[in-house]
């Protein structure tokens, strides 16, 4: 479980769904119900299965698999287009919506391994950069 | 529960009316429906107005222009299913004997947002991370193409069909026909979806008048009977949902078929929620018009064209007719009324006796769709 004070260090739009390690790497954070075991991403304060408020945070794995994706050319202003939107299935049983970055979309394939990383996704209306998690195809040999 | 019939229907051509207010867009549709129904305004027991982004008191703003005030007016928001939900609630009120005659309005003015993708709820986590409706449908399309061998040509043909039908609908926003090649060379919106795979944004309004069957004699005319009404919310799923299978439509259709005793083979035409070309194909399967994986073959063999086995979206659908979101549910019903009356000219489904409307609404994390409402009608 991640101490609450660590979660508060995160000031990106992912809020408490992401933590940054001292070495600059990041991990996604989900919640699990202590009563029924239901897992949810992003974190919730009440279990959507049994309504228990006894919830613990836990870190998701670094890697997941790419369920589907799309190169998005039309988005609200402030987003840097085109960007790749995708759904990543995590071994812990939750699906994560994410941008897929630093990759030629031509080489993406279904169910390929992808690893979490941090990225600047766009600018907010005040010109501040929007930071959050994203995924990048895992390096060959590390799968 | 009492039998309920539709006795009046009207709509305004969908398009862009940035200079008109919501009320100015909508009143002609309401007046047309009331005149079609031959109902004096004093007989209206209540009004239900569906709009997603019309703002507070949309129904009152519209109806004051026609002096229809002092009655219960209920405004309903349920995303793209706002006015199909309004219709469902109106139907319940008449079937339950609360009112005899009820007015249902669907209305939206999207030009006030200045174009682009539909504004979604920013509090939603995925929306905050850049999820837009075209991207969501595009990811469904990608996965479906991967699993079932659907091609870009299949997708394009849905748009070709929509325009082929819509050219004959004076209320449609996009009336020029198109070709597979033109669809495939239109600009990319969210790969593999291109501009012509996406419904146009715009403004519009539609209205119907419903009446208890035992009061029909007051107004004359032949009613279109409501023979099935269903609404569901989506199931919230945190895990690995199958995006090739629209669970809420599958569940709703099964429930509706069981309750009504009508099956997919009894349906002569369907107006389905083709916000994007891939959506229509997924709904062929979910509504039982074909088996899983056969949607591509179905459009390829033109079974869903007017003249085919089960014409889908003879109005042109959202792709051609346009999708002012809150207006869509009632506009679909207006088309089915016109089809069942035999008033549709070159897009008429010959001998149509049973019609379906299917309207979904989505755009929040963890759901296939947030809402879906399906109705069945007969003459």
Q: How many other CB atoms are there within 10 angstroms of residue B199's CB atom?
A: 29
A128, A77: one domain: yes
Residues A132, A97 share a domain:
yes
Same domain, A53 and A92: no
Q: Which of A59, A88, A105 is the last residue of a domain?
A: A59
| pLDDT at site B123 | 87
Query: What is the C-alpha separation between A96 and A86, in angstroms, rounded?
Result: 8
**Among chain B residues, CA nearest to A80:** B130
* Low-confidence stretches of chain B (pLDDT beneath 50): none
Asked if A73 and A39 sit in the same domain, the reply is: no
Determine, yes or no, domain membership for A82: yes
pLDDT score recorded for residue B258: 98
The encoded tokens of residue A76 equal 């609200």
**Interface ipTM:** 0.94
User: Does residue A69 sit in the same domain as residue A45?
Assistant: no
Contact A85/B139, CB-based, under 8 Å?
A: yes
- CA nearest to A112, candidates A72, A64, A70, A69: A64
Q: Is A87 on the interface with B (CB under 8 A)?
A: yes
Distance of CA B307 to the CA centre of its chain: 21
CA distance A87 to A109: 12
Asked whether residue A83 falls in the same domain as residue A113, the answer is yes
**Nearest residue, CB atoms, A40 vs list B190, B192, B238:** B238
Q: What is the largest CA-CA distance in chain B?
A: 57
Residue A116 placed within a domain: yes
Counted domains in chain A: 2
Query: What was the pLDDT predicted at B220?
Result: 85
User: pTM for the whole thing?
Assistant: 0.95
Q: From the list B117, B143, B193, which residue is nearest A67 (CB)?
A: B143
DSSP letters spanning B35-88: HHHT--GGG--EEEEE-SSS-TTHHHHHHHTTT--SS-EEEE-BTBTHHHHHHH
Q: Is the peptide bond before B74 cis (omega within 30 degrees of 0)?
A: no
Residue ending a domain, choose from A20, A43, A59: A59
Any chain A CB within 8 A of the CB of B135?
yes
Asked whether A47 and B223 are in contact (CB, 8 A), the reply is: no
Q: Residues in chain B, how many?
A: 379
Q: Is B344 a catalytic residue?
A: no
Q: How far is residue B156's CA from residue B141's CA, in Å, rounded to a whole number?
A: 12
In a domain, A29, yes or no: yes
- Which residues from chain B sit within 8 angstroms of residue A33, using beta carbons? none
A49 and A77 share one domain: no
Check CB contact of A127 with chain B, cutoff 8 Å: no
Phi/psi for B208 (5° steps) reads -135, 155
User: Would you say residue A121 lies in a domain?
Assistant: yes
Q: Specify if A143 maps to a domain.
A: no
Distant-in-sequence contacts of B306-312, Cβ < 8 A, 24+ apart: B306/B165, B306/B347, B306/B348, B306/B349, B310/B264, B310/B267, B310/B268, B310/B269, B310/B270, B311/B268, B311/B269, B311/B270, B311/B349, B312/B161, B312/B269, B312/B270, B312/B271, B312/B272, B312/B274, B312/B280, B312/B284
Closest CA to B12 of B341, B356, B349, B334: B334
Q: Which of B80, B199, B211, B290 is catalytic?
A: B80
Please tell me whether residues A68 and A54 are part of one structural domain.
Answer: no
- B276 beta partners: B198
Q: Report yes or no on A52 lying in a domain.
A: yes
- Give the DSSP H or E segment for A65: strand A63-72
Do A69 and A126 belong to one domain? Answer: yes
Residue position matching structure tokens 């944004």: B201
For A55, list phi and psi in degrees, rounded to 5. Answer: -125, 140
Looking at residue B136, what is its pLDDT?
96
Among B100, B73, B80, which Cα is nearest to B3's?
B100
Nearest to A62 by CA among A102, A22, A86, A92: A92
The domains of chain B, with CATH numbers, are 4-114+202-224 (3.40.47.10), 125-198+228-378 (3.40.47.10)
The closest of B264, B269, B245, B267 to B254, measured between CA atoms, is B264
Residue-wise pLDDT for B299-336, tens only, equals 999 999 999 999 999 999 999 999 999 999 999 999 99
Provide the pLDDT for residue A11.
Answer: 38
What's the full length of chain A, in residues?
Answer: 143
Per-residue tens of pLDDT for chain A, all 143 residues: 444 444 333 335 777 899 989 988 999 999 999 999 999 999 999 999 999 999 999 999 999 999 999 999 998 877 889 999 999 999 999 999 999 999 999 999 999 999 999 988 777 777 777 788 999 999 865 44
Tell me what pLDDT residue A56 has: 96
Q: Write out the DSSP string of B168-196.
A: T-TT-S--S---HHHHHHSPEEETTEEGG
Domain hosting A78: range is: 63-137
């Amino acid at each position: 479980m991640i101490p609450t004070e660590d979660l508060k260090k995160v000031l990106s739009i992912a809020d408490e769904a992401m933590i940054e390690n001292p070495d600059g790497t990041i991990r996604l954070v989900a919640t699990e119900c202590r009563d029924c075991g239901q897992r949810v991403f992003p974190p919730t304060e009440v279990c959507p299965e049994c309504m228990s408020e006894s919830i613990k945070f836990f870190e998701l794995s670094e890697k997941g698999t790419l369920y589907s994706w799309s190169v998005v050319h039309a988005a609200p202003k402030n987003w840097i287009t085109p960007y790749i939107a995708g759904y990543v299935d995590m071994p812990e049983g939750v699906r994560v919506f994410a941008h897929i970055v630093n990759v030629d979309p031509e080489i993406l394939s279904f169910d390929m391994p992808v690893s979490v990383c941090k990225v600047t996704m766009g600018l907010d209306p005040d010109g501040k950069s929007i930071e959050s998690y994203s995924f990048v195809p895992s390096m060959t040999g590390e799968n | 529960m009492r039998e309920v019939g539709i006795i009046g229907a009207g709509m305004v051509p969908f398009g862009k009316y940035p200079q008109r207010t919501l009320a100015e867009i909508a009143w002609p549709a309401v007046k047309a429906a009331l005149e079609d129904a031959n109902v004096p305004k004093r007989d209206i027991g209540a009004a239900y107005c569906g709009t997603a982004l019309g703002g507070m008191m949309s129904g009152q703003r519209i109806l004051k222009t026609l002096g229809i005030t002092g009655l219960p007016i209920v405004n309903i928001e349920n995303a793209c299913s706002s006015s199909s939900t309004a219709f469902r609630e109106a139907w319940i009120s008449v079937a339950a004997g609360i009112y005899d005659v009820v007015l249902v309005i669907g209305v939206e003015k999207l030009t006030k947002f200045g174009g682009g993708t539909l504004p979604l709820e920013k509090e939603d986590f995925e929306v905050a991370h850049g999820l837009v409706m075209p991207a969501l449908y595009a990811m469904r399309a990608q996965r479906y193409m991967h699993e079932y061998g659907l091609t870009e040509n299949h997708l394009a043909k849905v748009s070709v069909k929509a325009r082929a039908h819509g050219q004959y609908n004076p209320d449609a926003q996009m009336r020029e026909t198109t070709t597979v090649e033109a669809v495939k060379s239109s600009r990319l919106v969210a790969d593999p979806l291109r501009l012509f795979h996406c419904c146009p944004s715009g403004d519009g309004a539609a209205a119907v008048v419903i009446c208890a069957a035992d009061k029909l004699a007051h107004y004359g005319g032949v009613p279109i009977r409501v023979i099935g009404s269903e609404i569901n919310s989506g199931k919230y799923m945190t895990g690995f949902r199958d995006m090739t299978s629209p669970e809420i439509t599958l569940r709703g259709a099964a429930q509706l078929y069981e309750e009504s005793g009508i099956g997919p083979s009894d349906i002569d035409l369907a107006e389905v929620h083709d916000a994007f070309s891939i959506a229509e194909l997924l709904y062929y399967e979910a509504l039982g018009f074909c088996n899983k994986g056969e949607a591509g073959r179905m459009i390829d063999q033109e079974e869903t064209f007017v003249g085919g086995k089960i014409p889908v979206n003879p109005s042109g659908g959202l792709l051609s007719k346009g999708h002012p979101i809150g207006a869509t549910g009632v506009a679909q019903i207006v088309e089915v009324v016109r089809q069942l009356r035999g008033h549709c000219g070159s897009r008429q489904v010959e001998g149509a006796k049973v019609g379906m409307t299917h309207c979904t609404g989505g755009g929040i994390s963890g759901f296939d769709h947030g809402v879906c409402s399906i109705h069945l009608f007969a003459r």
